[in-house]
């Protein structure tokens, strides 16, 4: 069987790590184009100035407009050309990172996440939006970022809600990788296949990816709560360091090389419900992880373990926790229809899943979550 595994060339995290950014720029040349929201630049301005002086490099600001759209990517690529920048830096949250990936097209790219809210920083894919902010397309590049550099002080000083959302995204990783392995389904690490017009062969995941996904889940249970408290206090502790690694590296490698399944597909379906729009990706994924566990009839012990974890760190366990109240069966069917379209990762489950199955699992997961919360009160 053909297998694939993909990862960044280097991952480094530490206190005040941004002061070492110049060292990594220097491995490509003397300058870099910085793609970042201006508020994020302000947060790390002193460290950027420090690293420029220490390593004798220039970081060129690009005035990023905030949207990962084709026109913005084109503008930034022109800017990089004009300044003859040998490398691109994506600093900030999802949009800046995705835009930097599109501008760099798989070459000479340094990613500096300023929050640990999702597992996107390490991946070789990005999501393009229209200028109006609507979904456009997925893009896959030949390589993952060259360097992922994480400054733990910056993460500790970001709002805790981001870190907790990142734990929600990381929570699904093991269960989705397990389902994908059990069904021998294909993983994103095998993409793009058929580059240069050839007919590509898709690939399944490796034992390595499944082991990382398992460690991702175990570390959440072990260090999640202490990390949350550390972040509330804006201090770096070993537990917070472990969770930053979990949210960004373990979950990132786990999802790309281990595979996605029902949890992310149902998450995508939930976008049909207006109420969910003010909740973060990882918050919704925490709930849809429970839905996947109900769908696959996981053991009560496992479901309770996940519920206890979610409640302990404040992750959603029922629909009302993600802004959905008084939902009708028809609305849930609409969610299920979106989750079950042909391209969705729900078909990586090791059994056929129908729209009715998804509706039933959402309803039951919601009730189990509500009950669990009541018991704890
Ligand atoms: Zn995710």
Is 98 labelled a binding residue?
yes
Q: CB-hemisphere CA count at 13 Å for 83?
A: 20
Give the E-state strand segments of the chain in sequence order: 10-14, 31-36, 58-61, 87-92, 109-113, 125-129, 135-140, 147-151
**How much is the average pLDDT of 124-153?**
91
Positions of CATH 3.40.50.1970 in the chain: 10-157
| Distance of alpha carbon 365 from alpha carbon 222, whole angstroms | 24
Q: Would you call 135 exposed, middle or buried from its count of C-beta atoms within 10 A (0-12, 13-18, 19+)? A: exposed
Predicted local confidence at residue 199, as pLDDT: 54
Distance 169 CA to ligand 1 centre (A): 5
For the chain, give every residue range classified as CATH 1.20.1090.10.
160-376
Question: Measured in angstroms, how far is the CA atom of residue 76 from the centroid of ligand 1?
Answer: 26
Tell me the chain's radius of gyration from C-alpha atoms: 20
Lowest mean pLDDT among 224-228, 305-309, 372-376: 372-376
Model confidence at 374: pLDDT above 90: yes
> How much of the chain exceeds pLDDT 90, in percent?
90
According to the annotation, is 136 in a ligand binding site?
A: no
Q: What pLDDT does 197 receive? A: 46
**Dist. CA 117 → ligand 1 center (Å):** 9
pLDDT digits (tens, 9 = 90+) for 36-88: 999 999 999 999 999 999 999 999 999 999 999 999 999 999 999 999 999 99
Position 194 scores a pLDDT of: 53
CA distance 191 to 33: 27
In this structure, whether the domain defined by 160-376 belongs to CATH 1.20.1090.10 is answered with yes
Model's pTM, two decimal places? 0.96
Say how many Å lie between the CA of residue 264 and the centre of ligand 1: 6
Longest Cα–Cα distance in the chain: 62
CA nearest neighbour of 114 among 58, 69, 67, 156:
156
Question: Which residue from 207, 195, 15, 24 is spatially nearest to 108, judged by alpha carbons?
Answer: 24
> Is 97 annotated among the ligand-binding residues?
yes
99 phi and psi, to 5 degrees? -60, -45
**Residue 20 DSSP label:** G
Mean pLDDT, range 286-303, rounded to an integer: 98
Using CA atoms, how far apart are residues 104 and 112, in angstroms rounded to an integer?
14
119 annotated binding-site participant = yes
Other CB atoms closer than 10 Å to residue 366's CB: what's the count?
22
Mean pLDDT along residues 310-339: 97
Catalytic residues, by residue number, are 169, 264, 267, 281
Above 50 in pLDDT, residue 7? yes
Per-residue pLDDT tens for 87-122?
999 999 989 999 999 999 999 999 999 999 998 999
How far is ligand 1, taken at its centre, from the CA of residue 361, in Å?
20
Mean pLDDT of 292-311: 98
CATH topology of domain 10-157: Rossmann fold (3.40.50)
What mean pLDDT is reported for the chain? 95
**Model pLDDT for residues 165-215, shown as the tens digit of each residue:** 999 999 999 999 999 999 999 999 887 765 554 456 789 999 999 999 999
pLDDT tens per residue, range 231-262: 999 999 999 999 999 999 999 999 999 999 99
Task: Report yes or no: 317 and 377 within 8 Å, Cβ to Cβ.
Answer: no
The annotation status of 89 as a binding-site residue, yes or no, is no
C-alpha–C-alpha distance, residues 296 and 179, integer Å: 9
At residue 193, the pLDDT reads 61
């Amino acid at each position: 069987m053909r297998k694939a595994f993909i990862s960044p060339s280097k991952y480094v995290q530490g206190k005040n790590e941004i002061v070492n950014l110049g060292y990594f720029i220097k491995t490509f040349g003397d300058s870099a184009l910085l793609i970042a929201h201006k508020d994020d630049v302000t947060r790390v301005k002193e460290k950027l100035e420090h690293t420029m002086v220490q390593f004798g490099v220039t970081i060129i600001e690009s005035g990023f407009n905030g949207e990962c759209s084709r026109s913005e990517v084109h503008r930034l690529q022109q800017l990089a050309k004009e300044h003859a920048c040998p490398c691109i830096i994506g600093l900030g949250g999802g949009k800046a990172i995705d835009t930097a990936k599109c501008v760099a097209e798989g070459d000479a790219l340094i990613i500096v996440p300023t929050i640990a809210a999702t597992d996107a920083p390490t991946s070789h894919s990005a999501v393009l939006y229209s200028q109006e902010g609507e979904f456009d397309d997925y893009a896959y590049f030949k390589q993952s970022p060259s360097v992922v550099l994480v400054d733990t002080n910056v993460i500790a000083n970001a709002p805790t809600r981001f870190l907790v959302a990142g734990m929600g995204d990381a929570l699904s990783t093991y269960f989705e990788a397990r389902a994908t392995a059990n069904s021998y389904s294909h993983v994103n690490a095998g993409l793009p296949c058929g580059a240069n017009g050839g007919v590509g062969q898709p690939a399944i995941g490796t034992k390595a990816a499944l082991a990382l996904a398992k460690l991702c889940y175990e570390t959440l249970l072990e260090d999640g709560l202490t990390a949350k408290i550390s972040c509330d206090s804006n201090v770096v502790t070993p537990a917070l360091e472990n969770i930053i690694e979990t949210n960004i590296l373990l979950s990132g490698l786990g999802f790309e090389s281990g595979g996605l399944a029902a949890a992310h597909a149902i998450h995508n379906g939930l976008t049909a419900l207006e109420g969910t729009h003010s909740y973060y990706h990882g918050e919704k994924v925490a709930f849809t992880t429970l839905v996947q566990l109900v769908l696959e009839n996981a053991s009560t012990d496992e479901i309770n373990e996940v519920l206890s974890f979610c409640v302990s760190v404040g992750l959603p366990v029922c629909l009302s926790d993600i802004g959905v109240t008084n939902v009708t069966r028809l609305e849930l069917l609409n969610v299920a229809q979106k989750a079950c379209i042909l391209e969705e990762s729900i078909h990586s489950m090791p059994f056929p899943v129908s729209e009715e199955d998804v509706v039933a699992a959402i309803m039951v997961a919601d009730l189990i979550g509500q009950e669990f919360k009541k018991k704890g009160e």
